[in-house]
Amino acid sequence: MSFWRSLNSGFRSLMHSKRTERELDEELQAFHDASVGEKMRQGMPADAAERAARIEMGSRNAVKHHVRSAGWESWVESFLSDLRLSLRGLMRSPGFTLIAVLSLALGIGANTAIFTLIKQVLLQSLPVYKPQQLVLFGKSLSNGILGGVDVGTYDQYTYDFALQLERHPGPFAGVASYSSFPPEVSVRVPGAGAAEQVTTSLVSGNFFGVLGAEPMIGRTITPSDASAPGQNAVVVVSHHFWQKVLSSDPAIVGRTININSTPFTVIGVMPERFHGMSRDFDPPDLWAPLTMAEAIMMQPGMLAPRSFYFLHMFARTSPQSSVAADQQWLDTQIRNYVLAGEGKTITPERRAEIGRLTDKLAPGGSGVSHIGDKYGTSLNILMAVVGIVLLIACANLANFLLARAVMRQREIATRLALGSSRARIVRQSFMEAILLSLAGGACGLAVAFAATRTLIAFVAEGATYSPLSARPDATTLLFTLGVSLLAGALFGLAPALHVGRSSARLASNANARTASGAGGRKGRFWPNALVTVQIMLSVLLLVGAGLFLRTLEKLQDQNLGFNQTHLLIAGFDPHLAGYTPEQVPALNQRLIDRLSAIPGVQSVALSAVPPMSQGAWHSSLTIPGYTPAPREDMGSVLERVSGRYFETTGIPIVAGRAIAPADHAGTAKVAVINEVIAKKYFPHGDAIGRTLKIGIDSVAGPWRIVGVAQNTKFFGPREKPSPIVYLPLAQIVGKNGEGIGDSFAYTMLLRTKRDPAGSIADLRRAVASVDPNLPLLQIRTIQEQVETFVSHETLISRLTTAFSALALLLACIGLYGVMSFGVLRRQNEIGVRIALGATQGGVQWMVLRESLWLLALGLVLGLPVALGAANAVRSQLYEMSPFDPSILAVAVLVIAAVTALAAWLPARRAAMVDPVVSLRCE
């Protein structure tokens, strides 16, 4: 209660400070009058009584000051007056204030930008009930359809296994599953115009229940919606789809939309932030029950027992069960399922192998994020980098404020002598720092917004819908505020300490400037220490930037195995235009013929995927005459290619011949292998003419090897060359030469004479002339395709370079400032030296020597730190030592050159000092 009264009266006196002041005056006057009256009553004459009363009271202002400081509002008042004083001080030196706020805005903005991304990519939880209870069966990052593997391989599961665990979840509160990739479907809304291509997630009936997600409108899919294959044509739509395609129709529930020509009933709309398990760009827009797999994927047999491994699984843990028990239960389920699928006789080796099967439970509260997987490490490294940049900016400001404090020595001493409390002077010095950092933080928010938008655009690689947002939320604002205050405290500390130590005696010292100027080593400790730290941190950043730049260069400049120019790649999917397998061989031929006729196109090919790809068709091989060791990996990438593929991609044939247009359904089945396979299975160079068989029934073979192709970096510039078998697309047909599910090609490749981007319009026209309904999904040049594989190296090297340049600039400004200030303070000394006969060169060297010492010290301290940091990011580098001497040399040279420049200017100025002027200054 007394707190409230105090608060209340405090506010009253703040609000009505004039009235409070008047009342106090009146009370003092009354006191004085009463005192005079009493003294006169005791017999004093009027004037003596008056004087005595006045002496008793002393200074009226002092009394008033003491009365006022009884309440907290006096603190506020002095705070406000300090604030005004600090603001005025900053306004008086607009240049300094501008540089300070600008460097802080860049530092704090960069920190906020990276933090915004880290928060959204790595830290944010799914918008569901108790997300921390969710666990993934494996990291669930690989997507696709596998066959002929054990359950749990690449975290992929079959429908029957998932259903079994859904019904009997063991120690879990629930186990659910969803398709590991979102199939693309063609959606037509009755009454609306053209069909939309959207991605769909197939989910188990209990998916939403286990996830704990509530719909915004209608209801979600329940187990009764996944009762029997083909029977449950219901769909839940995303907020984004609802807005974009369904025009935010509030009465959408119960309406019908056509998905791949099958009518589905819309049963619910999810909230804006919900994207299922996905935390990626272009997340699924529709959720349909797994039992509708055939209609959605346009592929039969997905749900047959022990057929296709295409599901990811997750579970909600029960508080009663431990992680170890959960893991053990899952492994037992996997092993039992695999055992039950084995033949009657199981070899002991196989039994032991099955006994080792496992899929490690992973925390699922943040969902599944490929962005996080790809950029997580980069973002963490960048967070450290921007932290260092901010530290350098802080060191700079600390130095500037320190210099100001020294300049104000006399003012401070005077204030102390006049009775100002040391605490108040320190507080004001701190306030200046905090004001600067808050202004920097506010501008930093704008910087961060722009930077985050650019970063998201870069990371999104042209995705149409992004779950990331540059808009700062409460956490981000809090982070920015925290960082600003921390930075302010950091760079306000040194000057505040300096002010706190100042003595009042200096004021009376006529030679104050000389005294402080000659403050000697002790006075220069802090500035020098701060500059050394800046040099040290700059070395660290420069070495980092050098390593990342070199890595990117190495990745891009290596021989990837195919020709990296003049190649245009376009994705397409005949499924979406309603093609059946039987129609595909004819379509492929028509496309090849039509595309070859485009002017400026040298050659054309079709294939399943581009020469560098995230995923691939994959199978185990059998080579007659080769006996594999137990558990030997006999796997290989399979690529199906049309006749002029090798000519078009520029992959050289090192032996035998390439696949030719003449290899068609009617001729003998032939294959081309790459050097990895040739070396492994045919070490004597006798591959040509031998045969191989493939573990997938539709393309089992045998295939006669007619050529060996050079190795390519199929899975990306960092990967080792993978084994690849190339099969003629035209020969992947059924027994009677009819098209089958694997006859589909999804990639068009065009070798052009000129800039491939110039042929995009022609390509679109050509495809439209074959079939106007055939959608082109993604058109890229081969350079763009390769760039997507080095995007995080590009990001980290570009940003680290930019930040280290910024850091260097800041360090430079800092050194220049410290040196200039030092020269200014030592003007007398230098004047005397020159008067006594010191040469200009001598004076220059004296000043320069000091900064060279700082440089040397910064390097000696910085290089070990830089080497340690380089070692820590070793895994991010490519085919290079983290201790690359050339990079270290360049970093040292750059920093030495820049330091010398920053020190040389003040040194030159020192040498120009006119002894007469500088001595007369005193």
- Point out which residues bind other proteins (CB under 8 A): 1-2, 5-6, 9, 23, 26-28, 30-31, 33-35, 37-38, 56-58, 62-63, 66-71
Closest CA to 588 of 471, 402, 733, 691: 733
Our CB check for other proteins shows the closer of 38 and 373 to be 38
What DSSP element (H or E) covers 904?
Answer: helix 885-911
Burial of 328 (0-12, 13-18, 19+ CB in 10 A): middle
Q: How far apart are CA 455 and CA 892, in angstroms?
A: 30
- Calpha distance 493→581 (Å, rounded): 74
575, 648, 744, 774 from 587: Cα distances, Å = 12, 19, 9, 11
Phi-psi group of 230: left, alpha or beta (phi > 0 → left; psi -120 to 50 → alpha; rest → beta): left
Which of 68/255 has CB closer to other proteins?
68
- DSSP lists the bridge partners of residue 299 as none
CB of 10 to other proteins, least distance (A): 8
- Pairing relationship of beta strands 311-316 and 134-137 according to DSSP bridges: antiparallel
Residue 87 beta carbon to other proteins: minimum distance, rounded to whole angstroms = 30
Helix axes 17-41, 60-68, angle to 10 degrees: 130
DSSP-H helix ranges across 569-724: 584-596, 645-649, 675-681
Q: Which is nearer to other proteins, 9 or 222 (CB)?
A: 9
- Min separation Cβ 61 and other proteins, Å: 11
Beta carbon nearer to other proteins, 5 or 754: 5
Task: Considering the complex, state which of residue 32 and residue 680 has its C-beta at the smaller distance from other proteins.
Answer: 32
- Smallest gap from Cβ 423 to other proteins, in A, equals 19
DSSP states of 74-140 as a string? HHHHHHHHHHHHHHHHHHH-HHHHHHHHHHHHHHHHHHHHHHHHHIIIIIPPPSSSSGGGEEEES--
Least distance in angstroms from the C-beta of 917 to other proteins: 51
Nearer to other proteins, 68 or 350 (CB): 68
Q: Closer to other proteins by CB, 36 or 911: give it.
A: 36
* 656, 688 contact by CB (below 8 A): yes
Which residues is 136 bridged to in the sheet? 314, 362
Task: Give the nearer residue to other proteins in terms of CB position, either 26 or 461.
Answer: 26
Q: What is the DSSP letter of 913?
A: -
Q: Where on the phi/psi map is residue 612: left (φ > 0), alpha (ψ -120 to 50), or beta?
A: beta
What gap in Å lies between CA 812 and CA 902, rounded to an integer? 6
Phi and psi angles of residue 564, each rounded to the nearest 5 degrees, phi first: -90, 15
DSSP sequence for 647-687: HHHTPPEEEE----TT--TTS--EEEEEHHHHHHH-TTS--
Pairing of strands 724-728, 635-641: parallel
SS3 253: coil
436 backbone dihedrals φ, ψ, rounded to 5°: -60, -45
Residue 43 or 191: the one with the smaller Cβ distance to other proteins is 43
Of 25 and 593, nearer to other proteins (C-beta) is 25
In angstroms and rounded to an integer, the radius of gyration of the C-alpha atoms of the chain is 38
Cβ neighbourhood burial of 482 (10 Å; 0-12, 13-18, 19+): exposed
| Angle between helices 422-460 and 370-407 in degrees, nearest 10 | 150
Q: Is 748:603 a contact under the CB 8 Å cutoff? A: no
For residue 557, with 0-12 CB atoms within 10 Å meaning exposed, 13-18 middle and 19 or more buried, which class applies?
exposed
Asked if 105 and 281 count as a contact pair (C-beta separation under 8 A), the reply is no
CB of 248 to other proteins, least distance (A): 58
Report the residue number, 34 or 901, with the smaller CB distance to other proteins: 34
